[in-house]
Chains A and B, each alone.
Chain A
């Protein structure tokens, strides 16, 4: 009965470095979402995966951001050439189906600090 897990929990990096964040969804959940939460702000949608369908990348803020997911398992979010404005908590969520009425289950997040 494990929930959504994310690693690392905290990441401090220097401006210009690449970082990779990992998300393990709940087993059997076909839908996976990435969100970003900047300090004092709400969550912003980044990207959505549903099975083997093409992902919805409409929320990615720039081409420095990319994400992958293999089937219905682990996902990685990669930020290249990090900037200070990338500092935020990155949250992953999974859902049994990719539909508006389905509950999303959130992981604890990865806090990224770019110096």
Chain B
């Protein structure tokens, strides 16, 4: 079975500060990893994904994430956040052995303050 843990339910940060949203996963098979973002009153949108290859992946809006297999982590980072980054962020995992169904973490609310 697979599971995802997002270690912080809320992350308050000031504008232009760096941020890291933490994600750990558990799986007995190889995984694909995703970060989705949900802006207020909008649907989920893919930020970035790790499928294979380079462990540092870059996504939209200046976000990046690093896959660490030994620590089973996939933390999301941005060097300088904007007010518009305020949203709910979800880490998710799937595998090549299933149908593509995503297992999601509980979500992290990023609150960017002026």
Structural contact, A42 and B100, CB atoms closer than 8 A: no
Collect the chain A residues with CB atoms within 8 Å of residue B102's CB.
Answer: 33, 35, 43, 45, 104
The residue in chain A whose Cβ has the minimal distance to the Cβ of B49 is A103
Structural contact, A100 and B95, CB atoms closer than 8 A: yes
| B interface, size bucket | 20 to 34
Structural contact, B100 and A100, CB atoms closer than 8 A: yes
Q: Is the interface of A mostly helix, strand, loop or mixed?
A: loop
Count the A residues whose beta carbon is within 8 Å of the partner chain — how many?
A: 30
Q: A42-B104, A43-B104 are in contact. Are A100 and B94 (CB under 8 A)?
A: yes
Stretch at the interface among A20-28, A64-72, A91-99: A91-99
Interface residues, chain A, with chain B CB atoms under 8 Å away: 3-4, 31, 33, 35, 40-45, 48, 50, 56, 59, 91, 93, 95, 97-104, 106-109
Interface residues, chain B, with chain A CB atoms under 8 Å away: 4, 6, 31-32, 34, 36, 42-46, 49, 51, 90, 92, 94-107
